[in-house]
Amino acid sequence: MENKEILKGVNGVFKPGTVTLVLGRPNSGKSSLMKLLSGRLPDDKNISVEGEVTYNGVPSGKLRKVLPQFVSYVTQSDKHYAILTVKETLEFAHTCYGGNHSESRGVLQQGVDVTETIQKQHPDVVINHLGLKDCQNAIIGDTRMPGVSLDECKRVTTSEMTFGNNCVLMLNEIDTGLDSSETFDIITAQRSYAKKFHKTVVISLVHPSAKMFALFDDVMILNEGRVIFHGPCEKKLTYFESLGFKCPLRLDVANFLLDLGTEEQYRYEVKGDLDESSTMLRREVSALMMRLVMSVFMGLIISSMYYQLDPTDSQLILGVIFDALIYVSVGQSVQIPIAMAAREIFYKQRGANFFHTTSYVLSNYVSRIPSIILEMVAFGSVVYWMCGFEDTFFIFVAMLCLMSTAFVSFFFFLASVSPNLKVAKLISHVCIVFLTTYAGFAITKDQIPDYLVWIYWINPVGWGVRALAVNQYSDSQFDICA
């Protein structure tokens, strides 16, 4: 059986009186590290630990029987007796932990008489300290029996582990199911607990905000079981900047560090955005069918005006090319209201760091390519064969697809920078006038004023007209000297 190495070369120190954040993506080894240090790893012959874990210089082997008294471990889940009140639950914990720990008292020394301090604590002190006074007489409850809120239940879970002779408190992903303000309050209470009683508090979080991040003294960042940084919070950015990783202005520090922990994070974001965009497009089959019908209909209208034209008549050839490209470009203006409708959702999800802006834009662009190809094949097939172009069909359709994707991007850009839909439509109308006027068909390049000729050179319609004209007249049969 192949061995799986979960933690690889991990080393570091968690100091008394400090609060340390353990940060890492899923499967980075956070929970395994906490279970190892708290003595909660299963006693299984298939699990082996290499290296040494010490507590104030005392090897963990000498503390095996009493380690749970020194190191408390708070899991992600909240398990309590539903019919007991908050105060009764904490009184029970105090009773269980409040015995004489003379055996363990001499093993560890923190510089202060922690044992005596803890023994003087009682449930009322803990209740007040962790903000449970208002609900102390309420039952815990469960799915069948209404009780305290999820936030209050999480506080009870952390509170019952503060009794006794523990010197270290480890909390594993306590933000699961809580909002940021509730998690912030719990971490604030734990920080006060660490400073007041000179305890070592280690907390792992799924998605800490910048506000939470400021509460920690140190941070340990794990990536695939390895420590990529462990030190004071104020030095983390300096360290990664020295390696060439600079935190973007719009990204909070915690998420920047999480992104560093996953080499393929950007690929995952693009894939997730692409799946979402593709799903939405698949559910708009009726709209796609309507666009295909419209493409065929417009192709028939244009072709009826230029049916089987003389291929040597360059003016007519340029006319059908120009009309075809105008339909392709103007037809993509329907992207503006679609992009504007999705903009608020984009702002919300980007603000929550679901993805980077580039991954969102890229996935939206790529997801539209299949529908663009279908539309252009339908439109191009009618125009190309009915108008009698030369035998370069695939190049003709490829140019139509390139033009279409260019204008999808253009109108998407307009929707992104415009304050509202009315302004976006107004700007698009003005742009279409300029692009059609200065494409080199209605007005040749020599007739365009010098101060506006730059529009001709950046105009995608103009480039499309010239490209399709070259495609048509590059055949040897047109190499006739007058």
pLDDT of residue 435: 85
Q: Which residues pair with 226 in a beta bridge?
A: 223
Provide the residue count of the chain: 482
Residue 479 has pLDDT above 70, yes or no: no
Structure tokens, 125: 């002190």
| Distances, alpha carbon 393 to alpha carbons 264, 338, 374, 377, 463, in Å | 40, 31, 15, 10, 18
Comparing CA positions, the residue from 353, 324, 362 lying closest to residue 441 is 324
Report, as an integer, the average pLDDT of 197-222.
86
For residues 67 and 59, what is the distance between their CA atoms, to the nearest angstrom? 11
pLDDT at site 254: 66
Specify the pLDDT at position 279: 66
Q: Residue 81 corresponds to which tokens in the numbers above?
A: 């007796």
What residues are paired with 219 via a beta bridge?
A: 21, 231
Average pLDDT for 428-457: 86
Quote the tokens at residue 203.
């907390």
Worst-scoring range by mean pLDDT, 37-51, 208-222, 401-415, 428-442? 37-51
- 33 burial type by CB count under 10 A (0-12 exposed, 13-18 middle, 19+ buried): buried
Higher-pLDDT residue of 14 and 209 is: 14
pLDDT digits (tens, 9 = 90+) for 119-148: 545 678 778 877 788 888 888 888 778 888
Indicate the DSSP class of residue 14: P
* Phi and psi, residue 137, nearest 5°: -100, 5
Across the range 177-189, mean pLDDT stands at 82
Lowest pLDDT segment from 97-101, 241-245, 307-311, 416-420:
97-101
> Residue 266: pLDDT above 70?
no
Q: Band of the pLDDT at 203, cuts 50, 70, 90?
A: very high
Residue 97 has a pLDDT of 62
Which one has a higher pLDDT value, 274 or 201? 201
109, pLDDT greater than 70 = no
Q: What average pLDDT is seen over the chain?
A: 79
CA distances from 286 to 278, 282, 290 (A): 15, 9, 6
Considering only residues 477 and 241, tell me which one the structure prediction assigns the higher pLDDT: 241
Q: What is the DSSP string of 437-465?
A: HTSSSSS-GGGS-GGGHHHHHH-HHHHHH
Residues 6+ apart with CB under 8 A from 468: 321, 324, 325, 396, 399
- Sign of torsion over alpha carbons 143, 126, 233, 59: negative
Whole-angstrom distance, CA of residue 32 vs CA of residue 9: 14
Q: Looking at residues 248-271, what average pLDDT do you find? A: 61
Segment 94-107, tens digit of pLDDT: 776 654 444 444 44
Residue 58 three-state SS: strand
265 pLDDT higher than 60: no
pLDDT tens-digit map of 322-359: 888 888 888 888 888 888 877 876 775 565 445 677 77
Q: Tens of pLDDT along 62-93?
A: 887 778 778 888 887 777 778 888 888 888 77
> Considering only CA atoms, which of 217, 127, 108 is closest in space to residue 167?
108
Q: What is the pLDDT of residues 374-429, one digit of tens each?
A: 989 998 888 888 887 777 788 888 989 999 988 888 888 898 889 888 999 899 88
Predicted pLDDT at 269: 55
**The pair of three-digit structure tokens given for residue 38, joined into one six-digit string:** 């708290």
Nearest residue to 252 via CA among 285, 289, 278, 213? 213
Q: What is the pLDDT of residues 16-29, one digit of tens each?
A: 999 999 988 888 88
DSSP of 144-192, one letter per residue?
A: SS--S-HHHHHHHHHHTTSSSS-SEEEEESTTTT--HHHHHHHHHHHHH
Least confident of 97-101, 300-304, 436-440: 97-101
Give the CA dihedral 222, 62, 197, 97, nearest 10 degrees.
Answer: 110
Distance separating alpha carbons of residues 254 and 79, to the nearest angstrom:
29
Q: What is the pTM of this model?
A: 0.52
Predicted confidence (pLDDT) at residue 302 exceeds the cutoff of 90: no
Give 225 or 359, the one with higher predicted confidence: 225
Half-sphere exposure of 54 (CA within 13 A, CB side): 9
The predicted structure's pLDDT at residue 261: 53
Report all structural domains of the chain as residue ranges with CATH numbers, in order of start.
19-263 (3.40.50.300), 268-478 (no CATH)
| CA 437/CA 455 separation, integer angstroms | 10
288 burial via Cβ count (<10 Å: 0-12, 13-18, 19+): middle
Residue 212, token pair as written in the block: 């939470």
Q: Which element (helix H / strand E) includes 231?
A: strand 226-232
From residue 237, give the alpha-carbon distance in Å to each of 200, 213, 242, 352, 456.
Answer: 24, 13, 9, 21, 47
Alpha carbon distance 362, 388 (integer Å): 37
The reported pLDDT for the residue numbered 395 is 87
